[in-house]
Amino acid sequence: MKFQWQRIAEINQLRADKKPAVGTFCIFVPEEIIVGAGGACYGLCGGSNATIADTETELPRNICPLIKSAHGFKFQRTCGYTQFSDFIYGETTCEAKKKTREILDKHHPVHVMNIPHMKREKDLKMWKEEIEDFKSHVEEVTGKKLSLEEMKEGTKIVNEKRKALQRLDALRGINPDVIPISAKDGLLITQIGFMDDPLRYTQKVNELCDELDKRIEENNSVFEKDTPRLMILGTPFAPPNWKLHGAVKTTGGAIINEESCIGHRYYKDNVDLDSVEDEDTMMDRLLQRYTQVDCACFTPNTQRIDKILQMYKDRKADGVIYYTLSFCHTYNVESFLVSEALEKEGIPCLIIESDYSPEDVGQIKTRVEAFLESLTFKKKAKAFKDL
C-alpha cells in the first residue's frame, strides 16, 4: 500500500512539472513516447470484482469483467492512478472496450488510438499515423515538441525494462529441475511493472534475477521435483486478479510463465534502435515492434500459435491452461484454433473460462486438480517407459 501512495505522489509531481501521466488498459500504448517525454505510463486496475456491481448501472452485465472492473474504478473514483492521469489511453481492439471508451470519456479524458484488426500494408500505414497522432497528443499535454533524442532515450529505458522481464521469464521456466520463484510472485512482479517507475523497476528486477540465478546454481527450487510445469495462455491478469494462480498453487502445480499481455506478450519484443537517425525511422521501428503483439483481436493471428508451440518446447512444459475471461469473444473463439494446434502436437490443454467472482473457485480447483493428476500420470508412465 505504501508503494502505491508513493508512486501516486511521484506521478503527481511529474504532472506538476508538466510531464504526462497516462493510464492504460492495453499494451498497444506506445509507452516509449510517454517515457521519452519524461512522464509516467501505467496500467490501470481492472482485476477486481468490487467495482463491477456499481458499473453495471452504465454497462451491460454480459461483457468482459476486465472492462467492467476498470470502468468501475473510474465510476467509483477509487483508483488514484486513474484519478491523477492526464488522460486514459483507449484503443479499438475488442468491441466492448471500444464502445466503453465512449462512456468513459464522459468521466475522464480519453485518447483513442485506432488499432487495425489486420496487418496488411494499408493497415500498417494507418497504424503508423496513429502513433504519430499519439505523439502529438502527448506534446499537447507537455506543451512542447518531443525530440528524436528524447524518444530514443525513452525507448532505451523501456527496452531495458522488457529485457529484465525477459530475463525473469527465462529464470522462471528454462531449467526443467529448478523453479526458483513461485507463480504468484512471478505474476505479481510482472503486474508491478505496469505501475512502477521503469528505471527503478528494471534495477529491482535485475537484482531479483541475480538472486534467482544463485538459487538455480544451488538447486534451490520452490517446487518439489516432478511438479507438473504449466504455461498459462490467454487473457491478461489485471491486478488484483490472482484467482487462477491461487487455484493452481493450492492444487500443487507450478506455473512457469504467462502467455498474456501481463506476461510474455508484453515483454517479448524490443524496439530496434540501430541506425535510427530521423523521426520517420523512429516511427517505423515503433510500428515494427507493436505489430509483433499477437493479440487475438487480429485476424488471422497464426503467429500467436507458432509462438506458443515454440515456448512450450523451450520451457519443457507438461501442459497448458488456456484461460479466458467470460465474454471475451476474441480469446474465447481463438481457443479453438490454439487447442487444435496443441492437440496435433500432443500437448495437454485445459480450457478455463472465468470472471472475477469467487463463486467458481471450488470448481476451478477441482478441474485443475484432475488435469494435474492426468499430467502426473503421463509423466510417470513416460519415465517408466524410458527405463
Tell me if 287 contacts ligand BJ8 by CB under 6 A: no
* Cα 305–Cα 340–Cα 332 angle in degrees, nearest 5: 75
Output the smallest distance, CB 112 to ligand BJ8, in A: 13
Tell me if 104 contacts ligand BJ8 by CB under 6 A: no
Alpha carbons 76 and 30: distance in angstroms, whole number: 28
Whichever of 126 and 381 has its CB closer to ligand BJ8, that residue is 126
Work out whether the CA dihedral 216, 220, 225, 226 comes out positive or negative: negative
Whichever of 254 and 287 has its CB closer to ligand BJ8, that residue is 287
Stretches 7-15, 92-100, 165-173, 346-354: which one binds ligand BJ8 (CB under 6 A)? 92-100
Reduce the DSSP state of residue 89 to 3 states and report it.
strand
By rule CB under 6 A, what count of residues binds ligand BJ8?
Answer: 20
Alpha carbons 266 and 249: distance in angstroms, whole number: 24
Tell me if 67 contacts ligand BJ8 by CB under 6 A: yes
Q: Report the candidate in 242, 248, 212 with the shortest Cα–Cα distance to residue 229.
A: 248
Alpha carbons 102 and 72: distance in angstroms, whole number: 14
Output the smallest distance, CB 188 to ligand BJ8, in A: 18
Whichever of 59 and 94 has its CB closer to ligand BJ8, that residue is 94
Stretches 21-29, 103-111, 117-125, 146-154: which one binds ligand BJ8 (CB under 6 A)? 21-29
Whichever of 190 and 227 has its CB closer to ligand BJ8, that residue is 190
Alpha carbons 15 and 13: distance in angstroms, whole number: 5
Output the smallest distance, CB 204 to ligand BJ8, in A: 24
Do 201 and 12 meet the contact criterion of CB atoms below 8 Å apart?
Answer: no
Return the residue of 34, 141, 293, 372 that touches ligand BJ8, per CB under 6 A: 293
Stretches 251-259, 323-331, 345-353, 355-363: which one binds ligand BJ8 (CB under 6 A)? 323-331
Binding mask 190-229 for ligand BJ8 (x = CB under 6 A): ----------------------------------------
Do 138 and 39 meet the contact criterion of CB atoms below 8 Å apart?
Answer: yes
Stretches 64-72, 122-130, 284-292, 367-375: which one binds ligand BJ8 (CB under 6 A)? 64-72
Number of Cβ atoms within 10 Å of the Cβ of 69:
26
Alpha carbons 227 and 225: distance in angstroms, whole number: 6
Whichever of 186 and 234 has its CB closer to ligand BJ8, that residue is 234
Helices 148-173 and 183-192 sit at what angle, rounded to 10 degrees?
180
Q: Report the candidate in 291, 283, 290 with the shortest Cα–Cα distance to residue 135.
A: 283
Torsion of CA 235, 237, 243, 249, to 10 degrees: 100
Output the smallest distance, CB 78 to ligand BJ8, in A: 20
Output the smallest distance, CB 65 to ligand BJ8, in A: 8
Tell me if 131 contacts ligand BJ8 by CB under 6 A: no
Binding site for ligand BJ8 (CB under 6 A): 26-28, 64, 66-67, 93-94, 96-97, 235-236, 261, 293, 295, 297, 325, 328, 330-331
